[in-house]
Structure 1
Amino acid sequence: MSTDRRRIVLFDLFGVIARHQRPGALEKMAVRCNTSVDAFTTAYWTHRPPYDAGRHTACAYWTEVLSALSRPADADTIEELRLTDIDSWSRVDESMVAHVRNLRERARVALLSNIPADHADAFLAAQPWLHDLDHLAFSGRIGAAKPDPAAFQHSVIALRSAPADFHFVDDREENVRAAQAVGMNGHVFQSQDDLAAALDAWL
């Protein structure tokens, strides 16, 4: 067991520190596939879980999406969609970034995000502050995505701590409930002010 028993704030990424998908991105990709937004959105999300969890490569994911839309899966189309998709998830909330970084004076800070491996690589390259955190767990790299208990257990093992040492922050209630089910504390993120109050009380 680690001798560092400071409490750990474990953050989700999108919807908390990073912005949700860029408005208009799905429409842009649907146009590239010459299909309706509804059809594209259904295919995009239906085939997403194995990609997020690292069981499918980007090529396999986009091949499945294009096949579901009865569109040819040529290499140029796949790469254009892949890069557009990565860009659509690239925005951060700078105020939350500052909040997360400042927390490290009071606690260990880690990240647990559902994100494909190639997206994680791009995010790490664009956001070097992430390397200052105590641990980074990306679903596409660890082979488990929230709300799978294995995703939370990965962080417990990696940080050599007990679940009760963690306060997990996510904007999705089902993920917070899953964290609580493995013994973590949890907070459903709605605003930075609410989060600050909850963490002040916990820390």
Structure 2
Amino acid sequence: MSTDRRRIVLFDLFGVIARHQRPGSLEKMAARSHTSLDAFTTAYWAHRPPYDAGRHTASAYWTDVLHALSRPADADTIEELRLTDIDSWSRVDDRMVSYVRNLRDRARVALLSNIPADHADAFLAAQSWLHDLDHVAFSGKIDAAKPDPAAFHHCVTALHAAPADFLFVDDREENVRAARAVGMDGHVFDGQEELAAVIDAWLPGSAGQ
């Protein structure tokens, strides 16, 4: 068991280190499904939670989406939609990646993201910096998605730490509230400069302490 008691900055991925979904992607998938954007968007998000939380496979998710749209769920359509979806969430903010990597000189750094298992595999393959972090927790791999307390407890256990050792950073207020409810500190992300000041003040030995 690790005896490293340095503080831990636990990052969300999308909207913090990675970009939100690529513009135009939902329109592209809706066209491939031969349905309207509004109908596709509703089905896409309505069936997402069990896929994010590792309870549904990609095939089951896309079958549910297509059936909700009264469209055939053939294997070729499912695979094309799956790959388009993965690509739509593939962009990162290079400045934030550099900041996160450099932060490891001062703190332990981990990641907690709501992302399906097959998306997680693609991200791990494409983004080598993820392998340098102290822990990476993807909801589709740990069978728990934020704001479920189980997702935060997974990170506490995996890093042999206490909740008070963590500062959780996410762009969604409800996820930050959930982290605080389990005993972590939390910050709603609104830009790198503000975040850097918050972390500087939070880490022991910094000027803000």
> Under TM normalisation by the shorter chain, which class is it?
over 0.9
Q: What SS does the aligned partner of 1:161 have?
A: coil
* SS of equivalent residue, structure 1 residue 137: strand
- Residues 9-52 of structure 1, C-alpha deviations (whole Å, 9 max, x = no match): 00000000000000000000000011000000000000000000
Counterpart residue number, 1:180? 180
Matching residue of 2:79: 79
What is residue 162 of structure 1 aligned with on the other side?
162
Residue 115 of structure 1 is matched in structure 2 by: 115
**1:2 CA displacement:** 3.1
Q: Deviations over 1:155-195 (max 9, x none)?
A: 00000000000000000000000000000000000000000
Q: 1:35 — aligned with what? A: 35
Name the residue aligned to 1:200. Answer: 200
**SS of alignment partner, residue 187 of structure 2:** strand
Supply the distance in 1 between the matched residues of 2:93 and 2:156 (Cα, whole angstroms): 26
Counterpart position of 1:130:
130
Alpha-carbon separation, structure 2, partners of 1:154 and 1:105: 24
Letter in 2 for 1:24: G
CA distance in 2: counterparts of 1:76 and 1:3, whole angstroms: 49
SS, match of residue 187 in structure 1: strand
Structure 1 position 141, deviation (Å): 0.3
Taking the aligned partners of 2:60 and 2:82, their CA distance within structure 1 comes to: 11
Gaps of 5+ in 1: none
Aligned-residue offset at 1:101? 0.2
Alpha-carbon distance between aligned partners in 1 of 2:151 and 2:176, rounded to the nearest angstrom: 12
Note the aligned Cα RMSD (angstroms). Answer: 0.5
Partner of 2:141, secondary structure, is helix
> Structure 2: 5+ residue runs without aligned partners?
204-209
SS at match of 1:18: coil
CA distance in 1, matches of 2:67, 2:193: 44
Work out the CA distance in 2 between the residues paired with 1:45 and 1:190. 24
Distance in 2 (alpha carbons) for counterparts of 1:7 and 1:33 = 47
Among the aligned pairs, what percent are the same residue? 84
Q: Which runs of 4+ in 1 moved over 6 A?
A: none
Q: Over residues 114-136 of structure 1, what are the superposed CA-to-partner deviations in whole Å (9 max), with x where a residue is unaligned?
A: 00000000001000110000000
- State how far apart, in whole Å, the 1-side matches of 2:199 and 2:31 are: 43
Supply the AA of the counterpart residue of 1:97. Answer: V
Task: Supply the distance in 2 between the matched residues of 1:99 and 1:59 (Cα, whole angstroms).
Answer: 36
What's 1:148 paired with? 148
Separation in structure 1 between the aligned mates of residue 48 and residue 113 of structure 2, nearest angstrom: 14
Q: What residue identity is the alignment partner of 2:178? A: A
* C-alpha distance in structure 1 between counterparts of 2:78 and 2:109, whole Å: 35
1: CA distance, partners of 2:28 / 2:3: 50
The CA deviation at 1:142 is 0.2
